[in-house]
Amino acid sequence: MAKYSENRQKPKSTQDRLKGYAIKAGIKKGLAGTFIYGWLLASLTIIMVPILWMVSAAFTDTENLNAVPIIPIPTRWSLANYQEIFTYTGSTTQMLPDYPRAFLVSLGVASLSTVLTVIFSSLVGFAFSRYRFKGKKPVLLSMFGLQLFPSFMGMIALFLLFNQFGWLNSWPHLSLIYVAGSIPFNTFIIRGFMKNIPLSLDESARIDGASNLQVLRKIIVPLAAPILGFVAVDSFMKPWLDYILPSILMPENETVAMWLFRVNDNESQPYNPMLFMAGGLFIAVPIMMVQIYMQKYVVYGLTGGAEKG
């Protein structure tokens, strides 16, 4: 009986049990962390390898893609591709080389579209979020229904319209199409955000003598800066690399998307896949600048605590 009592295991103390739980939890946490970081590393590798290869190709003086190293080697870099794209001119009547001219055209279209889209979408979103008027719901549903139809369905009508009014090859008129197509969707986004801004702020401003535009400009717009920043980034990116609309409505006024398509076509001149890589890498700079600058506006919860009391 005494021997049996000696062989019996003593019950674990609370401290031992807690230590065992902590070890198991640490093992699970370590395995989860290893899986998460491994997944992130694999995703980063999949994303970065094509980008690094593109950078390497943009700075490699060759016309053979097979000769381009996947990992960039700065000691072997050359600016020959960029010298080519910034100096080649296909027509003697042009004041600028092909690529800088196409770059400026795309920059003008994207910038004008962004400014007009933000302005008009803010005005329309403000009206739908703050006022009640007859036909409000049918108009909203109509705007939503317009988004169900892809833009290329109206290509023929747009071409005939531009040709009739003499707007072909005019980039400011092309911007109007992007603005008109962006307003319905952005109106829903801005309206939903502005509805969360307390109406008491508007009432307080009107008591102090502010007009509707002053309420929008001095109160609503600063509080809605996050969503307006998102709309601005989205409005800039859409026309920046669009190919279909410019190729139909501006056949003689090249954008960067049209330029990239031309240099990647082996039946066109100049044909060099490295020029495609160099031009594609350079046009990513405005997108990066817009994203970095607008990042500070994408901060949600800005309206929290805006109303005192």
What is the rounded average pLDDT of the residues 140-168?
A: 83
> Would you kindly state where each structural domain of the chain is located, as residue ranges?
14-74, 83-297
- The residues near 89 (Cβ < 8 Å, ≥ 6 apart) are 96, 97, 98
Mean pLDDT lowest among 4-8, 45-49, 136-140, 227-231: 4-8
The structure tokens listed for 132 are 């009640």
Instruction: Determine the pLDDT at residue 108.
Output: 93
The per-residue pLDDT for range 33-87, each reduced to its tens digit, is 888 888 989 998 888 888 888 888 888 887 777 778 887 788 778 888 888 888 8
pLDDT at 88 over 90: no
pLDDT band at 266 (very low <50, low <70, confident <90, very high): low
Q: What is the pLDDT of residue 136?
A: 80
Instruction: Say which residue, 107 or 74, is predicted with more confidence.
Output: 107
Q: Is the pLDDT of residue 162 over 50?
A: yes
The 8-class DSSP code of residue 9 comes to P
Answering whether pTM is above 0.85, one says: no
Helix axes 225-240, 98-130, angle to 10 degrees: 140
Average pLDDT of span 197-215: 84
CA 215 to chain centre: 29
How high is the mean pLDDT of the chain?
81
Q: Which CATH superfamily is domain 83-297 in?
A: MetI-like (1.10.3720.10)
* String of DSSP letters for 205-251: HHHTT--HHHHIIIIIHHHTHHHHHHHHHHHHHHHHT--HHHHHH-T
State what percent of residues in the chain have pLDDT above 90: 15
pLDDT of res. 92: 62
